[in-house]
Chain A
Amino acid sequence: MDINALHSLVTGAIWRAEQLDELGLETAASAWQEVSKLEEEIAKALPVKDAEGRIARRGAVHAALKANDYIRAEKLVSNYLAERGAPKTHCATLRKILKADVIVLSEEFPFAAKYYKPDDVQTLADQLQKSGPFLLAA
């Protein structure tokens, strides 16, 4: 697809996702997934050396987190960090985006934050995702 058409689609998708988010509707998450996928398509079309290409990569990760799809966000970051020629500042920003999600976790859940470190909570959640309840599938 033409890059201009993708830009136009992603602009519309972001507007829609933001509106749904504001209304607190369940469909906001799937709207953000759509944004993430469109940004990913733009990122595929533009090299990482290109400033717009880097913005698209960050946008894809941001939108995946907004969609509460941490696995996708992590996977995208891992792929983008492995890209040849990725500037160091770009890599640091991508890592920060994931890290910012951890900070949000402690702000959103103040009672839990008194007793648990967000990193530990994420590690356990990740273990459970990979190995199932009681880690029986480990």
Chain B
Amino acid sequence: METIAFYSYKGGVGRSLLVANAARFLGMLGKKVVALDLDFEAPGLHYKLGRAPDAEGKPAMSGGAVPYLVATAKGARNPPPLKEHIVALALPEGAGGALWLMPAGPAPRREYWIALKHLRERLHFDDPSGKGLAVLLDLHARIQDELKPDYLLIDARTGVTELGGLATTALANCVVCLFVPNQESVDGTLAIVGALKAKTPARLPGLHPARIVPVVARAMADIGSEGRTADAIKRLMKICEGQGTGGKSGLKPFLLPHDSVLGANDKVVGGDQKASAFSPLHKAYLELFQHLFPQARKKAEEALLRARLSKAALGLPGAEPEG
């Protein structure tokens, strides 16, 4: 199982939407994927993957990562069934893969915030006894053992938090770092990437240093090559050792252009053959996914080629999420 954490130093960069699209993309390419929402303070992955509460506010499911961690906070010898906290989502016919969602919980219902309060009381991820960390590692290991997914995609908490730190350092093999091209966002991202690439990062023995893929989000135009922000981005790319576009040098980060349709409406692409436009954001997603998922590269290339040849490509903006 490859674990990829999607992280951003600042919020509002389209991180959850990228996680949802990546999960669905992999599912459509025949991969088994689990999407896990660890953004406990502002959970929303379930909205992006078609599990929003109904018109009366009734949640699509009552389980999720927060209720699960509360239930196992004192030990996981008799853990609750995973199926109470993870839901299988429908994929288009013939997709071949499998997609599961473990939402944070039934947010924004009151019971979710009560569960989160209990979690904070019972569990401290930096508790030096290791119990807090063990609870999280146990969930990660259980997903690996019971669901056997090819990929676990984590929507990690924004900013500098214990859980955001653990998702990127203790759980992930790969970290996708999203930022917007302004000084504040780039400087913060540089600090985090520097910590992830430090000589003694916060990692468990046996876990290889994470691959870090910088991604510029909500880009309105070319990010330019001069100025303080551009210099900081160059430093970032140097630290990330070629995890970008621009050939072997890899000096340019992936760019996700602003897309008013996908971005404003939080749409998930993929699986819909009816739409007639091909979004630049969708194209950028495909290019990024080619890089992120080497196992799926060939199929992604085919999809990209089809998209270039015909505008009736796989999955297009405006498609409603299924499930």
A-side interface residues toward B, CB under 8 Å? 26, 65, 68, 70-71, 74, 101-102, 105, 107-112, 114-118, 120-122, 124-129, 131-136, 138
Contact = CB atoms under 8 A, between A and B. Distances in A.
22 contacts: A68-B131, A70-B128, A109-B76, A109-B137, A109-B138, A110-B76, A110-B77, A112-B134, A114-B145, A118-B134, A120-B204, A122-B129, A124-B130, A124-B133, A125-B133, A128-B125, A128-B166, A133-B160, A134-B168, A134-B195, A136-B160, A136-B191
A26 to B, nearest CB: 6
Q: Secondary structure at chain A's binding surface: helix, strand, loop or mixed? A: helix
Nearest to B164: A133
Contact of A109 (B134, B144, B169, B203): B134
Contacts, number: 128
A102 B39 CA distance: 29
Contacts of B140: 112
Contacts of B125: 125, 128
Nearest to A114: B141
Among A26, A107, A116, A134, chain B packs the most CB atoms within 10 A around the CB of A134
A65 to B, nearest CB: 7
Taking residues whose C-beta sits less than 8 angstroms from the other chain, chain B's interface range is 35 or more
Nearest to B193: A134
B309 interface: no
B11 interface: no
Nearest to A101: B129
Interface in B179-234: 191-192, 195-196, 198, 200-206
Contact of A105 (B130, B160, B198, B204): B130
A52 to B, nearest CB: 28
Given A110-B77, A125-B128, A135 B202 contact: yes
B246 interface: no
Given A121-B204, A136-B160, A105 B137 contact: no
A122 B128 contact: yes
Nearest to B72: A109
Contact of B195 (A74, A101, A135): A135
A105 B134 CA distance: 7
A111 B145 contact: yes
A111 B195 contact: no
Interface string B161-175: 110111011100000
What 4 pairs across the A-B complex have the smallest Cβ distances? A133-B165, A70-B129, A108-B75, A111-B141
Given A110-B77, A134-B160, A134-B192, A127 B202 contact: yes
Given A68-B129, A101-B129, A116 B75 contact: no
A105 B74 CA distance: 10
Given A105-B134, A111-B145, A112-B76, 19 more contacts: A70-B130, A108-B74, A108-B131, A109-B76, A111-B139, A112-B134, A116-B204, A121-B130, A121-B137, A122-B130, A126-B130, A129-B128, A132-B126, A133-B126, A133-B164, A133-B166, A134-B165, A135-B198, A136-B195
A102 B77 CA distance: 15
B142 interface: yes
B76 A121 contact: no
B128 A133 contact: no
B135 interface: yes
Contacts of B170: 124
B121 interface: yes
A112 B126 CA distance: 16
B258 interface: no
